[in-house]
Structure 1
């Protein structure tokens, strides 16, 4: 492992000052930049095993059968790896026998982070099915839309969600079974089937699973993109896509976990929702394949969350900006609560260095803090900070087997430190959007590149910094204003806990920034004071003239600001 790390470090640092030019920009020889303007990964190429995701997760089961796979932070209910394997197999066999699920059939999972969630997903895949996930707070209209778009054959949910699910099924004019997860001793709703009755069925004939015929190139996961720039689209991810990404983020320069043994097991908090790609792959499938203990929390309660971090000795945290800000500002935040943390990775949306530094000041010791970058369409990780990178504004290099480009509006390659759209090519890139050729044509180029829609820069050494969403840039008199920059400035105000900025039409400027802020408990600040605070810190064209104070900033489950909701409600 040490020699591999040394080779990686040498490759990353082996750049010379004399160089060539492309696009009018000097580039050093032997850097991660090719002469064509493509940025390569510094990490050793990985082999992508020819497995299904189900087989990949259980590949090393015999090494840690008695170790805990999932445990509920509130109740302590959970499963060992061996229990999870056996239960998911029985569930899969019953899906084939009792519900006639066949290869390629889609099953909807609409759950919060309960300990059973990973078992459900793996059971569906063992049966040859495809998992699509739904946020459990969705309305009947939102549910029915995804049921129809995915052609779902069944839905798994909680008993208290059955009424809204039935309404959705009625609207969609479907007749599909409902399976429920029992989290207590209450009877299940009439007309539904309990998951535990299927998974604990010792008499089910598992030989039917031998008829499953799925390959690494088959579809296994169908998450729907967040819809921050339009209606949600089904993202077709194959077994190979997700396994490739798990292999990519296992490189010793960037990984977060040590080997699970008889005396050691890392503990990760599964606070990011499993129904989102970040939670399902990075926290779920990848960590399960490594034998990590996952501490689940079915509803976010700050005190329970913080208590669980200390109680379960959590040492790995994958987070989004709102969680980091909460972990900085909450009255319980302390070095004692965070005493076991070794790795903290931010993703889903960028965080600025000042927010990272404020969080680390609460930890009061040196730990690894990094950023990751990815999208649902890239299964999800494109880049992750190496352990030795201390620039908290950066997201590191592209992961193994991954090429990136920075391009202008004409898709021509730009050079180091120039801002443009980030394009990605690698084995983790989706097969495409489900039944949406127009959307595919917009994001997948003929020569195999995926257009992220994100603005970024890459320095001479191949380090990526994400600037903003291309479609969310505010155009003020022709100048581009990134909302994330103004949001970071607002969060620097001592009274502001969270902020969002959108562009609104303006008679003379074309567009102008409008801000929304949530204040810390016990603090006050007038919109005029906040506008002045920003004006002192930015160029004149970036100044904000209109600020509204809200109780909270609307965000998606992944932590992304829902700018379209702010626009529809307040503009």
Structure 2
């Protein structure tokens, strides 16, 4: 497969250019039925796979940098990425026997090779399932089993965790590692670099790939509104629809790539998360931007990279923006190239936004957007030039929203209730989990977000709180049920409940309530260490309170609201 294939790719795309007209609607987006319609242009969704969509304009920018490491400068042009990922795709099919619909687990930090890995999996007809690289073997083994992964791709330094996870899961599947230096390939692993740089591989096998827009392309794991992590099945069409929605001229925050201009986008938000994978990696590849990767967040190096690489498009979560507003190295000179900053993952307080904005001397686009793993992720975004920083705007193109009470009755303007959304970017469903699907989808396929909002007279939406019980630590989801299950594994614990409590730097932190077995004794620190060994660092429990019993409903459901009211 060569660069010439791109011209063939373009022919299968039914692309419709965006309208050049901005929204002029000044009236309300509300309907008589109390549904909020989008004020943005309708889009037509290209009839293509994600693989074809990302590469469709490759011939316009083959020599432009696609991805580059912020620390080492190691990276790839778009043409290099295309050729290497296709060689990798061919070897996935020939040497590892990956077939259409097979899941490949990707457990990587943000390295320049991540997009090549992702596109190689898609090119081979596989499904990408991302795993947090700081997960423990206990966490990894569960996701490998749930996703039915056929191959795992990781780094040499995390191969030990993967091996242990496979042992726990009693699986024997290949491990591929990415080498970023000259060290030998670890024993028992295949080398990504060798598979992707194989110039003799027969790429004609890729002609056998048969994937449609309705097929699953990406399966990250999310806890939904509550409970244990579930595989979120996102189709090629789901993601492409969301990218076309992002391209609408009314909300678009990137500039077109030309012979003389290329946006530089900072990729510190993790690619294993939907926000980083969708908005930063896949979408920005499709528009030819330069993706500057950072494998691990270091405040000083991050701020230095913003200036060094002249970052003009930036996606942040609240902890990052708090740091940018408070760090002494964050000056107007550091932020001089910024032209667009989008906050997501969790809402920001007005005072926190102002602290950052006061450091940036030039005019630039700053907005808050809203989305979820289950919605690819974007569902709400204000138009360019919005002067209300607290709002997350309107439903994006081809999307509608409504606010409902606890009985799912529609509410009107300025009434607070749960946000429900419907649009082409909403997931197919949770993998093999009809119970969870029935909880989040209404009979007419409205998706229940679990977030409390209100919408003003014009239909602009503001997030007020979370109805769901997920704990958000630095923007990451921490499901209480997962920590409760780990706590109950402790030999001295008979019951447990976990809630999220406010934290000055994390946003929220897990707080546990523990009931000990009769006659048993245990120290809080001992139990915290027990949990710490089994979960990723951001999930560790900050505080433990010993109680005689856990408040529960008649159906046996933990009443976390009662715990919050009594102890927080």
Normalised by the size of structure 2, how large is the TM-score?
A: 0.81
Match of 1:439 among 436, 441, 450: 436
In 1, the alpha carbon distance for the partners of 2:424 and 2:332 equals: 40
Aligned partner of 1:317 in structure 2 is: 314
C-alpha distance 313-326 of structure 1, shift in aligned 2 (>3 A)? same
For the residue of structure 2 that corresponds to 1:234, the secondary structure is strand
Tell me the alpha carbon deviations over residues 159-178 of structure 1, each in whole angstroms, 9 at most, x when there is no partner. 01111110000110000000
For the residue of structure 1 that corresponds to 2:347, the secondary structure is coil
In 1, the alpha carbon distance for the partners of 2:237 and 2:499 equals: 44
C-alpha distance 440-270 of structure 1, shift in aligned 2 (>3 A)? same
Whether contact under 8 Å (1:131, 1:220) holds in the other structure is yes
Match of 2:398 among 390, 397, 401: 401
Aligned partner of 1:10 in structure 2 is: 24
In 2, the alpha carbon distance for the partners of 1:41 and 1:282 equals: 20
Tell me the alpha carbon deviations over residues 368-396 of structure 1, each in whole angstroms, 9 at most, x when there is no partner. 11011000000000011221112111011
Match of 2:73 among 65, 72, 76: 76
Aligned partner of 1:114 in structure 2 is: 111
Whether contact under 8 Å (1:276, 1:558) holds in the other structure is no
Tell me the alpha carbon deviations over residues 48-88 of structure 1, each in whole angstroms, 9 at most, x when there is no partner. 10110010000000000000000000000000000000000
Question: Cα offset for 1:3?
Answer: 11
Aligned: 1:146 with 2:133: no
Aligned: 1:229 with 2:226: yes
In 1, the alpha carbon distance for the partners of 2:297 and 2:229 equals: 24
Whether contact under 8 Å (1:50, 1:216) holds in the other structure is yes
Match of 2:61 among 52, 64, 70: 64
- Unaligned stretches of 5+ in structure 2? 1-15, 481-497, 507-531, 547-566
1:314-463 equivalences in 2 (<5 Å): 314-463=311-460
* Cα-Cα RMSD: 2.6
In 2, the alpha carbon distance for the partners of 1:270 and 1:93 equals: 28
In 2, the alpha carbon distance for the partners of 1:422 and 1:255 equals: 24
For the residue of structure 2 that corresponds to 1:471, the secondary structure is coil
Aligned partner of 2:174 in structure 1 is: 177
In 2, the alpha carbon distance for the partners of 1:262 and 1:413 equals: 50
For structure 1, which segment, 143-152 or 457-466, has the greater mean C-alpha deviation from structure 2 after superposition?
A: 457-466
In 1, the alpha carbon distance for the partners of 2:210 and 2:192 equals: 24
Whether contact under 8 Å (1:273, 1:558) holds in the other structure is no
Question: Cα offset for 1:569?
Answer: 7.7
Aligned partner of 2:293 in structure 1 is: 296
In 2, the alpha carbon distance for the partners of 1:228 and 1:136 equals: 23
C-alpha distance 133-259 of structure 1, shift in aligned 2 (>3 A)? same
In 2, the alpha carbon distance for the partners of 1:382 and 1:567 equals: 35
How many corresponding residue pairs? 483
C-alpha distance 114-518 of structure 1, shift in aligned 2 (>3 A)? closer
Question: Cα offset for 1:558?
Answer: 13
C-alpha distance 409-103 of structure 1, shift in aligned 2 (>3 A)? same
Aligned partner of 1:134 in structure 2 is: 131
In 2, the alpha carbon distance for the partners of 1:389 and 1:147 equals: 43
In 2, the alpha carbon distance for the partners of 1:303 and 1:364 equals: 20
For the residue of structure 1 that corresponds to 2:419, the secondary structure is strand
Aligned partner of 2:512 in structure 1 is: none
In 1, the alpha carbon distance for the partners of 2:500 and 2:176 equals: 46
Aligned: 1:250 with 2:241: no
Aligned: 1:191 with 2:195: no
Tell me the alpha carbon deviations over residues 399-439 of structure 1, each in whole angstroms, 9 at most, x when there is no partner. 00000000001101000111000000000000000011110
Aligned: 1:272 with 2:262: no
Question: Cα offset for 1:340?
Answer: 0.2
Question: Cα offset for 1:4?
Answer: 4.3
In 1, the alpha carbon distance for the partners of 2:544 and 2:64 equals: 48
Whether contact under 8 Å (2:36, 2:400) holds in the other structure is yes
Question: Cα offset for 1:567?
Answer: 6.5
Aligned partner of 1:55 in structure 2 is: 52
In 2, the alpha carbon distance for the partners of 1:3 and 1:411 equals: 35
- Unaligned stretches of 5+ in structure 1? 16-30, 474-482, 488-499, 503-510, 520-553
Tell me the alpha carbon deviations over residues 88-142 of structure 1, each in whole angstroms, 9 at most, x when there is no partner. 0000000000010000000000000000001101100100000000000000010
Tell me the alpha carbon deviations over residues 438-492 of structure 1, each in whole angstroms, 9 at most, x when there is no partner. 100000111010000000111111111011110349xxxxxxxxx99xx9xxxxx
Whether contact under 8 Å (1:221, 1:238) holds in the other structure is yes
Normalised by the size of structure 1, how large is the TM-score?
A: 0.81
Aligned: 1:517 with 2:507: no
C-alpha distance 514-186 of structure 1, shift in aligned 2 (>3 A)? closer
C-alpha distance 82-382 of structure 1, shift in aligned 2 (>3 A)? same
Whether contact under 8 Å (2:23, 2:41) holds in the other structure is no
Match of 1:34 among 31, 34, 46: 31
In 2, the alpha carbon distance for the partners of 1:91 and 1:568 equals: 48
In 2, the alpha carbon distance for the partners of 1:178 and 1:568 equals: 38
